[in-house]
């Protein structure tokens, strides 16, 4: 490759909003219900039904817009995007084309070189999700589940400002955190509550014009996005090097095969015949509404990190990890508020919590144990009622079942025996049973006491404080 | 009661107005059940001639009548329409009762819910007789585009009843219901009312909920009454009007006690007659009847003047652009997938869409879907659709200026009386031009009423149209009522 190329990337990110009800009707958005049980005349496109905007959707969209430095459109509208497909019960999707709710924003990301750059946001618009098609291969037919139909989405359209997969991931992480902090969505790529389509072109370094771009769909993880960007960059460069040209088209990424294939080209592109939806009145965003939403904006990550540095004596690395997932930060703060020592709460999160999350593939938003129980567990170790290995054992159970550690320890008899007499008796027995080690210790072999502590702990079935055993041994020897 | 007496009683009932009949039921002279039976008997007898109904819900109506009668007797229902049988246009959803829009594509469609307007009628103690014939999806001015055959004008069965609410208007005129409801997108209540010699009103946009009205042109559609007189019109409109949170375009109004407007008082009222509404194309007999009606109001103390409204000639192209655009999108949901007609044999999804829709929709509907798809398509949107929206805004402005000078506007409803069956469909453009006096009202969202004001030499009715500013229904009703009391009787 003689020439130097640069990749130009823009993203279209769909985020499913965490409202309880759908965007244009009162049906529940809850996940996992029986097919077509969360539907009504509106979200199944029955004749004569009419949409009414869920105000929470508008408020979330504006909140995301404010957090990403967008201008909020004070007179916005919904438009109909017309196309025929069975998952789309009206055969038009209610979306925004002409007057989207947010425009001209941007977020700052860190580049691979450690510098900072702003990725521009062209617009954010609100729209409804489609239903789900289920292809029954045995019956040779397709079925439609309209539970998803009308679930609210926002689409965040970036400017073509990214130049590498790493920048794309940094941008997506930034969006994910902002939206998660707002509580507007849990932003899970795997589950589809955050979906990114990648628009990508390549050009020679220094060229002013953009190359012909393709749009890549079906990217379900950060890894898939990275691989798809690398693969598509290579494919386009190969085409150009071979003297061929890139075709403007939509491509579907197959992550298992590590390659993409063309879905439809620009020539096949449908004319969506967008026009303002006459069933919905224009949205007028009042100054009062803007102020209220502004006032409700939460502390975002940067502010939170600064506050943690100020308030808690925990390492920067811990702060970065904990604030990197809103649920972890919430857990940490709640535990501290309940009286846990920050360093200890942080240790439990950074250690056992992250270990088990990774081992058992649990998302931070799906953690089951309460901050109350974590705080109790910390108190049990602080007061030396259980030792650290018992604490880890209890934590594992808590991680799965959110048990109350006090009760659990009590029921399972895991408390350190506080009875000095019993401990003294056991220690005496261990001394009597291990003359060689006693001899070694007395001859100055400090290590030998470790063996004796271990034997005592074993005899006590772990329910002793190793420190106390150590002291007792030294005393008696 | 012997058979003869029964027949006599039935004759009286079907001649009554809604408010008269409700009063008779209240005082125990008759009952809701008797009234329903009387009207059903009339339908049985006459509808083969006129074809007003797509569906007659005999059992449902009788069951409802019994229920309503019981509520009247316990005093739970006391309104001015309690117990009175009504006909509902077949594009308004009724739970459990076939709703076809007079289209093949909805030949088997039974809604799972009831339109808000019909719910309001239920609250008023109405008895739903069935669903009336119409132009397919309300597209047409004659009720000839129905997939279930044309409705005939009860005044002369060689003529159309008008449309698209032709079945509703004809049913009222033929005594096949006591009153009816229809929908008006470009004149679809007022024009058939005029052709059939009944009263029809299109309320201010947003006054009656559109929830459950199968949309044609969403920004123009309004449900309204077709009645035997202005008194009924006021009572029915009062029952229909409500603020409905399920319809974003629904308006919250305090002034829905429309019957209080029924007074004879037009003294000093300023009435404007647009010269544009008296120009070329207007039939002489219609012109004469309308101007005579204006004279009646003048005699009663109104100030009547001619003026230039302007832009009237642009209303038709703007209307057909906007209504067709909205219709092309509104009618996309009829695809054979979820309900309605699906073609028998097809090769794949796309072919199924194509065949189901080609076979399910009639000519006029397909014409408007194509027109609407064209004006919204990329490259033409600005030139057609956006331009039409601008014309719409200018027409609204022209009316605003007119209403700065006049309390209301008076003119004909249609350029002619009812044409003969088969005359209009051969020339759609000519048919579209027949909407010239009614469609500007829809574009501007205004209320308009059609009141009988004469007949031509063949005995076909002529309608007088009164147009008010937004929310001025009471003024319209007052003037219409005054005219009704003093104009010629037909």
Residues A65 and A93 in one domain: yes
Residue B89 catalytic?
yes
Residues A128 and A214 in one domain: yes
Total CB pairs under 8 A between chain A and B: 92
For residue A264, the SS3 value is: strand
Q: Is B418 domain-assigned?
A: no
Interface test with B, best of A48, A85, A86, A95 (most B CBs within 10 A): A48
Residue B164 catalytic?
yes
> Per-residue pLDDT tens for B197-254?
999 999 999 999 999 999 999 999 999 999 999 999 999 999 999 999 999 999 999 9
Q: If contacts are CB pairs under 8 Å, which of residues 36-65 in chain B contact chain A? A: none
Least confident window among A255-264, A440-449, B101-110, B117-126: A440-449
Instruction: Show the beta-strand stretches assigned E in A137-256.
Output: 141-145, 152-158, 194-204, 214-217, 249-254
Residue with tokens 């609100």: A126
* A103 beta partners: A71, A123
Q: Are B422 and B162 in contact (CB under 8 A)?
A: no
For residue A201, the SS3 value is: strand
Whether A86 sits inside 8 A of B349 (CB atoms) is yes
For residue B452, the SS3 value is: strand
Q: Are B150 and B419 in contact (CB under 8 A)?
A: no
Q: Is B365 domain-assigned?
A: no
Residues A231 and A353 in one domain: no
A94, A277, B46, B329 from A80: Cα distances, Å: 5, 5, 45, 8
Examine residue B164 and say whether the peptide bond preceding it is cis (omega within 30 degrees of 0): yes
Option in B99, B101, B326 nearest A278 (CB): B326
| Min Cα separation A190/chain B (Å) | 30
Residue A2: predicted pLDDT: 67
| Min Cα separation A219/chain B (Å) | 27
Option in A45, A84, A279 nearest B248 (CB): A279
Which residues have a Cβ under 8 Å from the Cβ of A17 and sit 6 or more positions away?
A56, A57, A60, A61, A152, A153, A154, A184, A185
The answer to whether A144 contacts chain B (CB < 8 Å) is yes
Residues A263 and A306 in one domain: no
Residue B47: predicted pLDDT: 98
Whether B329 sits inside 8 A of A273 (CB atoms) is yes
Domain that holds residue A364: 299-412
Q: If contacts are CB pairs under 8 Å, which of residues 193-212 in chain B contact chain A? A: 210-212
On the question of pLDDT at A226 being above 90, the answer is yes
| Min Cα separation A255/chain B (Å) | 28
Where is the domain boundary, A369, A392, A412? A412
| Min Cα separation B250/chain A (Å) | 10
Domain that holds residue B221: 3-261
Q: Is B127 domain-assigned?
A: yes
What's the domain count of chain A?
3
Residue A351: predicted pLDDT: 95
Q: Is A293 domain-assigned?
A: no
What's the domain count of chain B?
1
Residue B248 catalytic?
no
What CATH number corresponds to the domain at position B141? 3.90.1300.10
Residues in A touching B327 (Cβ below 8 Å): none
> Per-residue pLDDT tens for A194-210?
999 999 999 999 999 99
A281, A350, B93, B211, B353 from A146: Cα distances, Å: 25, 41, 21, 20, 19
Whether B249 sits inside 8 A of A279 (CB atoms) is yes
Residue B1: predicted pLDDT: 41
Of B102, B103, B164, B209, which residue is the catalytic one?
B164
Q: Is A13 domain-assigned?
A: yes
Residue A369: predicted pLDDT: 96
Option in B247, B332, B338 nearest A50 (CB): B247
Residue B426: predicted pLDDT: 83
Residues A146 and A73 in one domain: yes
On the question of pLDDT at B327 being above 50, the answer is yes
On the question of pLDDT at B7 being above 80, the answer is no
């Amino acid at each position: 490759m003689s020439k130097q190329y640069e990749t130009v990337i823009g993203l279209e990110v769909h985020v499913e909003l965490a409202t309880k009800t759908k965007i244009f009707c009162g049906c529940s958005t809850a996940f996992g219900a029986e097919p077509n049980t969360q539907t009504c005349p509106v979200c199944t496109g029955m004749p004569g039904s009419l949409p009414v905007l869920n105000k929470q959707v508008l408020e979330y969209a504006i909140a995301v817009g404010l957090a990403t430095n967008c201008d909020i459109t004070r007179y916005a509208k919904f438009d109909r995007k017309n196309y025929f497909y069975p998952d789309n019960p009206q055969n038009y999707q209610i979306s925004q084309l002409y007057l989207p709710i947010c425009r001209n924003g941007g977020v700052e990301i860190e580049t691979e070189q450690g510098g900072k750059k702003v990725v521009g946001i062209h617009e954010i618009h609100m729209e409804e999700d489609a239903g789900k098609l289920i292809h029954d291969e045995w019956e040779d037919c397709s079925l439609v589940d309209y539970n998803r139909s009308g679930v609210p989405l926002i689409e965040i359209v970036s400017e073509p400002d990214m130049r590498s997969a790493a920048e794309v991931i940094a941008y997506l992480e930034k969006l994910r955190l902002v939206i998660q902090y707002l509580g507007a969505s849990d932003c899970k790529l795997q589950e589809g509550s955050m979906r990114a389509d990648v628009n990508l072109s390549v050009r020679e370094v220094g060229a002013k014009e953009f190359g012909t771009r393709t749009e890549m769909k079906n990217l379900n993880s950060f890894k898939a996005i990275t691989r798809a960007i690398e693969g598509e960059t290579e494919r386009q460069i190969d085409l150009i090097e071979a003297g061929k040209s890139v075709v403007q088209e939509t491509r579907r990424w197959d992550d298992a095969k590590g390659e993409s294939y063309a879905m439809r080209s620009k020539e096949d592109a449908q004319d969506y015949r967008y026009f303002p939806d006459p069933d919905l009145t224009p949205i007028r965003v009042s100054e009062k509404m803007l102020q209220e939403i502004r006032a409700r904006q939460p502390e975002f990550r940067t502010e939170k990190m600064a506050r943690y540095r100020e308030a808690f004596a925990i390492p920067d690395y811990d702060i970065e990890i904990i604030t990197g997932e809103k649920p972890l930060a919430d857990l940490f703060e709640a535990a501290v508020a309940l009286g846990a020592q920050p360093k200890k709460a942080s240790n439990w999160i950074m250690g056992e919590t992250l270990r088990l999350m990774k081992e058992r593939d649990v998302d931070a938003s799906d953690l089951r144990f309460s901050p109350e129980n974590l705080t109790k567990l910390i108190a049990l170790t602080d007061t030396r009622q259980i030792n650290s290995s018992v604490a880890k054992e209890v934590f594992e159970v808590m991680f799965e079942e959110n048990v109350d550690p006090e009760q659990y320890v009590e029921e399972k008899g895991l408390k350190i025996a506080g009875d000095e007499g019993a401990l003294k008796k056991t220690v005496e027995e261990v001394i009597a049973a291990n003359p060689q080690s006693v001899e070694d210790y007395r001859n100055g072999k400090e290590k030998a006491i470790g063996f004796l502590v271990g034997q005592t702990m074993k005899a006590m079935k772990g329910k002793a404080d190793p420190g106390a055993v150590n002291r007792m041994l030294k005393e008696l020897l | 009661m012997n058979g003869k007496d029964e027949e006599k009683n039935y004759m009286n009932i079907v001649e009554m107005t809604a408010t008269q009949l409700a009063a008779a039921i209240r005082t125990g002279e008759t009952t809701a059940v008797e009234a329903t039976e009387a009207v059903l008997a009339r339908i049985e007898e006459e509808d083969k001639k006129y074809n007003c109904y797509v569906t007659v819900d005999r059992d449902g109506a009788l069951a409802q009548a019994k229920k309503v009668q019981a509520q009247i007797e316990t005093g739970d229902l006391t309104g001015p329409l309690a117990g009175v049988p009504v006909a509902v246009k077949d594009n308004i959803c009724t739970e459990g009762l076939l709703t076809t829009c007079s289209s093949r594509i909805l030949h088997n469609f039974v809604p799972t819910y009831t339109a808000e307007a019909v719910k309001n009628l239920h609250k008023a103690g109405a008895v739903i007789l069935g669903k009336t014939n119409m132009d397919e999806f309300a597209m047409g001015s004659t009720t000839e585009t129905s997939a279930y055959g044309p409705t005939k004008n009860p005044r002369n069965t060689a003529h159309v009843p008008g449309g698209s609410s032709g079945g509703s208007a004809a049913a009222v005129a033929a005594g096949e219901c006591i009153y009816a409801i229809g929908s008006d997108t470009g004149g679809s209540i007022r024009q058939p009312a005029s052709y059939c010699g009944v009263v029809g009103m299109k309320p201010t946009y947003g006054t009656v909920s559109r929830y459950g009205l199968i949309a044609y042109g969403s920004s123009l559609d309004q449900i309204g009454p077709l009645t035997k007189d202005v008194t009924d019109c006021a009572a029915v409109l009062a029952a229909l009007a409500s603020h409905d949170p399920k319809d974003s375009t629904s308006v919250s109004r305090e002034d829905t006690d429309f019957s209080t407007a029924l007074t004879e008082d037009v003294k000093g009222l300023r009435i404007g007659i647009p010269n544009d509404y008296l120009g070329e194309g207007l039939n002489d007999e219609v012109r004469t009847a309308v101007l005579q009606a204006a004279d009646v109001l003048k005699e009663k103390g109104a100030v009547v003047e001619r003026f230039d409204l302007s832009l009237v000639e642009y209303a038709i192209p703007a209307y057909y652009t906007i209504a067709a655009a909205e219709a092309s999108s509104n009618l996309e949901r009829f695809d054979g997938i979820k309900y309605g007609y699906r073609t028998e044999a097809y090769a794949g999804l796309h072919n199924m869409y194509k065949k189901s829709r080609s076979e399910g929709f009639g000519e006029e509907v397909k014409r408007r879907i194509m027109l609407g798809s064209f004006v919204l398509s990329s490259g033409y949107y600005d030139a057609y659709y956006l331009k039409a929206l601008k014309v719409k805004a200018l027409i609204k402005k022209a009316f605003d200026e007119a209403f700065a000078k006049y309390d209301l506007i008076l003119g004909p409803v249609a350029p002619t009386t009812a044409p003969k069956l088969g005359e209009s469909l051969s020339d759609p453009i000519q048919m579209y031009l027949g909407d010239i006096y009614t469609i500007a009202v829809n574009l501007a969202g205004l209320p308009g009423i059609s009141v009988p004001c004469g007949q031509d030499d063949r005995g076909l009715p002529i309608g007088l149209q009164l147009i008010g500013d937004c929310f001025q229904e009471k003024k319209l009703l007052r003037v219409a009522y005054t005219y009704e009391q003093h104009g010629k009787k037909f």
